[in-house]
Structure 1
């Protein structure tokens, strides 16, 4: 499982986050420098996973990545202070900009072999994945969707996805019941997001390939989030069937990484390149 999760994390750090950052219109040219540096920092973060846990060099590599995520988090704070808005789109975008810093903190602790806040190594590694794919990719896609296809459903998704992410994280500290509540909220938000993309965004996209990428991204959520919900419920009620952690990584984790995040962000990138940019105009940094 650890090897597979490592590859999934490397994809997030090297490809998914830099790709997503390009989708936020940078009218003040603040995201340009961090976006240029990110692939290299992400590569260092990915390389840190190749070394033994507790290796000082692995920790140093993870710290390099964390420094860039902190830079992005500071830009999120500046955005909040400048715009002074907590509209659904803003909540989603700010979540996406801050989430990698949370992930990087767990990465440093896991690479150092330290039990951060009492969490074991497996939990910390999964936290890194959670905040890259749910925290960054899902929140960003929710924000893009709410800005391109404004509707009650897209606005609700743009709020419930970040709230669900936060509740799942809070459940790590408080217990399985809170984590299950977070999984319910996050699943509802992700399903609503997938439905909105399928119904409103994909049909209006230019090009068959773009529509196909949107369709795959939306359809994947129907299955992967059901797996996440059953896994969380299975830790509260023993009678609920759920996959093992290894199988969750191989199904839920891999499908979300490739099917939802990568396909979805590639679709949005194609929309941006085609010059159809109402979404990115709304999401100016």
Structure 2
């Protein structure tokens, strides 16, 4: 993995996921929140080691930790006969880190899981921390607050688009492009609702600024995602993976996920809309 991708993944492991879990109102998550860093810290160390049994062992500790929120999602789903759109997004967020954990173990072992190259596996790790976890969680929070058809569309299309992009890896580049279109539509809807509905309404200046940045960043970063997927499908010029990590990846990590999580934490502290 590159240094930049490692740093992005570390931010997801050590802050975005545990901070995001605190935004989800569920008693069963309390032990996971308290112990998360015990699993995440070895995973972070594994990123910087050469591929070796030691790196695999540390990555496996993290992978085991990611199964805990996934199991909580299964328990939560079993208690909900017909989950709402917002609940479906939260459930998807809880399950997403387990995909990242599996990809990390495979990449650190040098195993091309399901035929994916090590480079794609390395990028799957941040993708499922940010598009899989952070974006789905924020879409669910937005849906709980804004309500209406657009909010429900965002809450459903973000996790669906993420799954379609993953499925596209198994099918072909056109299927991946279709997934990118669905995901982009959902993310742009999240951005619109964040800017129009969540940002306004008596928020303090810092919270408004964080929400504004998160919404604005999505407009640019998802265009980059579309251009990359379109280039893969059509053969047209597209950004390189290195360029995507430095722009789309870094923008989504810092501008969207970090700012969104910080903003929603501030909103939760004022007793607004737990998930």
User: TM-score, with normalisation over the residues of structure 1?
Assistant: 0.94
After TM superposition, the structure 1 = structure 2 runs for residues 123-272 of structure 1, keeping only pairs within 5 Å, are: 123-204=120-201, 206-239=203-236, 241-272=237-268
Aligned to 2:14: 14
Superposition pairs for residues 48-63 of structure 1, below 5 Å?
48-53=46-51, 55-63=52-60
Q: Per-residue displacement from partner, 1:81-108 (whole Å, max 9, x unpaired)? A: 0112232111101100000001100000
Gaps of 5+ in 1: none
1:57 partner SS: helix
| Separation of aligned partners in 1, 2:208 and 2:41 | 30
Matched length: 275
Question: Once the 2 structures are TM-superposed, how far is the Cα of residue 49 of structure 1 from its aligned partner?
Answer: 0.7
What secondary structure, in the 3-state scheme, does the structure 2 residue paired with 1:45 have? helix
- The Cα offsets for residues 128-172 of structure 1, whole Å up to 9 and x where unpaired, read as 111110000000000000001111111100000011001000011
Shift of 1:206: 2.1
Larger relative contact order (C-alpha < 8 A, sep ≥ 6)?
1
Q: Deviations over 1:217-253 (max 9, x none)?
A: 01100000000000000111123x4211101000000
Question: Does residue 101 of the first structure (1) align with residue 98 of the second (2)?
Answer: yes
CA distance in 2, matches of 1:156, 1:7: 32
Give the TM-score, by structure 2 length: 0.98
SS of the aligned residue for 1:86 comes to coil
Consecutive unaligned residues in structure 2, runs of 5 or more? none
- Asked if structure 2 preserves the Cα contact closer than 8 Å seen for 1:14 and 1:40, the reply is no
Say what the alpha-carbon RMSD is for the aligned residues: 1.0
- Superposed displacement of residue 205, structure 1: 5.0
Q: Give 2:110's match in structure 1, choosing from 106, 109, 113.
A: 113
Residue 42 of structure 1: which of 20, 40, 43 is its match? 40
What secondary structure, in the 3-state scheme, does the structure 2 residue paired with 1:30 have? Answer: helix
Once residues 21 and 98 of structure 2 are traced to their aligned partners in structure 1, the CA distance between those partners, rounded to angstroms, is 14
How far apart, in 2, do the equivalents of 1:46 and 1:160 lie? 30
Q: Give the Cα–Cα distance (whole angstroms) in 1 for the partners of residues 33 and 172 of structure 2.
A: 36
Ranges of 4+ aligned residues in structure 1 off by more than 6 Å: none
Residue 265 of structure 1 and its aligned partner are, at CA, apart by 0.6
SS of equivalent to 2:233 = coil
- Give the Cα separation in 2 of the matches to 1:193 and 1:246: 26
Corresponding position of 2:29: 31
